[in-house]
Amino acid sequence: MTIPFTITAFFLLMVNAFSQNLDLARQSHPLNPSDTNHTESTYTESELIPAKGYNSLIKQEAWLRSQLERFPSSSSKASPPQRKFGILCHLNPEDLDRPKEAWIELTLNQTENLKLEAIALIPALYHNHSTDSNYGFPKRFKIQGFSLEHPESPITLVDWTTQDFPDPGLSPVIFRAPDSPINRIKITVTEGHPDSDKEFFALDELLVFRNGINIAPPVINLLKCSNSYNIAPYWHRKYLVDNHSHIGKSLAGETTDAAKTLNDFIYYPPKKKNPKNKDTTITIDLGKQYSIGRVELHTAQDPHSHTPSIPLPYIYQLQLLTSIKPDKITSSKNIQRSDQDQVRFHPLQSLSGRYVRLSFTKLPVHNGRPVLALGEIRVIGDNGKNQDMLELNKKVFISPNLAEPLNPTDTSLLVDGSTNGLNITSEKTYIEQLAKRNIVEKAYQKISKQIPIAKAIRSERYWTIVISLAILSLIFFIYLFVKMKKQKQLEMLALQKQIAADLHDDISGNLGTISMISNRINKLTQETKIKDKLREIDHLSQESYISVKEIIWHTDSEIVRLSDLLKQIQRTATSISNDCKLTYEFPNAHDDYEDIEVPVNTRRNIILLVKESLFNCAKYAQANNILIKADITASVFTISMRDDGCGFDFSKGILTNSESGRGLLNMEQRAKLLGADLSIKSALNEGTEIKLKMPLSPSK
Instruction: Dump pLDDT digits (tens) for 78-103.
Output: 555 667 899 999 997 766 667 889 99
Q: Would residue 187 count as lying in a domain?
A: yes
Most confident range, picked from 16-30, 239-253, 432-446, 460-474: 460-474
Q: Would residue 310 count as lying in a domain?
A: yes
- Is the same domain home to 284 and 401? yes
Listed in order, strand segments (DSSP E) in 532-676 are: 581-585, 625-633, 636-643
Question: What is the rounded CA–CA span in Å between residue 480 and residue 482?
Answer: 6
Give the model's confidence band at 1: pLDDT under 50 very low, under 70 low, under 90 confident, else very high: very low
- What average pLDDT score do residues 419-428 get? 81
Query: What is the tally of structural domains in the chain?
Result: 3
Domain end among 404, 424, 444? 424
Question: What is the rounded CA–CA span in Å between residue 594 and residue 588?
Answer: 9
Average pLDDT, the chain: 79
Residue 626 phi/psi, 5° resolution? -130, 130
Amino acid sitting at position 8: T
- Is the same domain home to 231 and 333? no
What confidence score (pLDDT) does residue 120 get? 94
Query: Cα 236–242–244 angle (5° rounding)?
Result: 105
Check whether the bond before 233 is cis (ω within 30° of 0).
yes
Helix axes 562-576, 528-556, angle to 10 degrees: 170
Give the model's confidence band at 417: pLDDT under 50 very low, under 70 low, under 90 confident, else very high: confident
3 state SS of 573: helix
Cα-to-chain-centroid distance, residue 565:
66
User: Which domain range does residue 327 map to?
Assistant: 257-424
Q: Which residues contact 348 (CB under 8 A, 6 or more apart)?
A: 292, 293, 294, 295, 320, 331
- Is the same domain home to 229 and 261? no
Q: Beta 280-298 vs 343-362: how paired, if at all? A: antiparallel
Domain end among 395, 424, 453? 424
Domain end among 241, 276, 308? 241
- Cβ contact 605:674 at 8 Å: yes
* H or E element, residue 55: helix 54-70
- Is the same domain home to 271 and 404? yes
Q: Which residues contact 579 (CB under 8 A, 6 or more apart)?
A: 618
Amino acid sitting at position 7: I
- In this structure, the chain runs to a length of 700
In the predicted model, is pLDDT for residue 8 greater than 60? no
3 state SS of 142: strand
Taking alpha carbons only, the member of 82, 86, 183, 185 closest to residue 137 is 86
In the predicted model, is pLDDT for residue 21 greater than 60? no
Residue 103 phi/psi, 5° resolution? -140, 155
Question: What is the rounded CA–CA span in Å between residue 624 and residue 620?
Answer: 12
- What average pLDDT score do residues 228-248 get? 87
Q: What is the strand order of the sheet 636-643 is part of?
A: 581-585, 625-633, 636-643, 688-695, 677-682
- Is the same domain home to 280 and 355? yes
Question: What is the rounded CA–CA span in Å between residue 264 and residue 311?
Answer: 13
3 state SS of 86: strand
pTM for the predicted model, two decimal places: 0.58
Check whether the bond before 33 is cis (ω within 30° of 0).
no
Q: Look up the CATH number of the domain holding residue 649.
A: 3.30.565.10
Higher-confidence residue: 381 or 85?
A: 85
Q: Would residue 213 count as lying in a domain?
A: yes
- Is the same domain home to 135 and 212? yes
**Given its phi and psi angles, is residue 431 left (phi above 0), alpha (psi -120 to 50 degrees) or beta?**
alpha
- Is the same domain home to 325 and 408? yes
Residue 276 phi/psi, 5° resolution? -85, 0
Question: What is the rounded CA–CA span in Å between residue 220 and residue 224?
Answer: 8
* H or E element, residue 515: helix 508-524
Provide, for the chain, the percentages of residues in helix, strand and coil under a 3-state DSSP scheme, each rounded to the nearest 5. Answer: 35, 25, 40
Question: What is the rounded CA–CA span in Å between residue 499 and residue 487?
Answer: 18
- Cβ contact 171:434 at 8 Å: yes
What confidence score (pLDDT) does residue 162 get? 93
3 state SS of 431: helix
Q: Look up the CATH number of the domain holding residue 101.
A: 2.60.120.260
Q: Which residues contact 33 (CB under 8 A, 6 or more apart)?
A: 160, 162, 163
Compute CA distances 297 → 278, 342, 345, 664, whole Å. Answer: 21, 8, 7, 127
Q: Which residues contact 486 (CB under 8 A, 6 or more apart)?
A: none
Amino acid sitting at position 16: N
Cα-to-chain-centroid distance, residue 317:
60
Question: What is the rounded CA–CA span in Å between residue 577 and residue 623?
Answer: 10
- Cβ contact 14:465 at 8 Å: yes
- Is the same domain home to 419 and 365? yes
- Is the same domain home to 317 and 214? no
- What average pLDDT score do residues 612-623 get? 81
Question: What is the rounded CA–CA span in Å between residue 675 and residue 670?
Answer: 9
Amino acid sitting at position 560: V
Q: Would residue 28 count as lying in a domain?
A: no
In the predicted model, is pLDDT for residue 13 greater than 70? no
Give pLDDT tens digits for 502-540.
Answer: 665 566 566 667 767 777 777 777 777 777 777 677 767
Compute CA distances 517 → 512, 522, 537, 538, whole Å. Answer: 9, 8, 10, 9
Give the model's confidence band at 699: pLDDT under 50 very low, under 70 low, under 90 confident, else very high: very low
CA atoms within 13 A on the CB side of 15: 6
Compute CA distances 412 → 166, 263, 371, 658, whole Å. Answer: 45, 11, 18, 139
Helix axes 562-576, 600-616, angle to 10 degrees: 30
Give the model's confidence band at 451: pLDDT under 50 very low, under 70 low, under 90 confident, else very high: confident
- Is the same domain home to 162 and 263? no
Q: What is the widest separation between alpha-carbon atoms in the chain?
A: 178
Question: What is the rounded CA–CA span in Å between residue 85 and residue 228?
Answer: 13
- Is the same domain home to 160 and 106? yes
Question: What is the rounded CA–CA span in Å between residue 46 and residue 38?
Answer: 15
Question: What is the rounded CA–CA span in Å between residue 65 and residue 71?
Answer: 10
What confidence score (pLDDT) does residue 502 get? 61
In the predicted model, is pLDDT for residue 407 greater than 60? no
Beta bridge partners of 362: 315
Give the model's confidence band at 386: pLDDT under 50 very low, under 70 low, under 90 confident, else very high: low
Amino acid sitting at position 401: N
* H or E element, residue 451: helix 427-502
Q: What is the strand order of the sheet 140-146 is part of?
A: 155-160, 140-146, 184-191, 102-107, 223-225
- Cβ contact 570:584 at 8 Å: yes
- Is the same domain home to 265 and 399? yes
Check whether the bond before 400 is cis (ω within 30° of 0).
yes
What confidence score (pLDDT) does residue 38 get? 42
- Cβ contact 646:622 at 8 Å: yes
Q: Would residue 629 count as lying in a domain?
A: yes
Question: What is the rounded CA–CA span in Å between residue 299 and residue 243?
Answer: 17
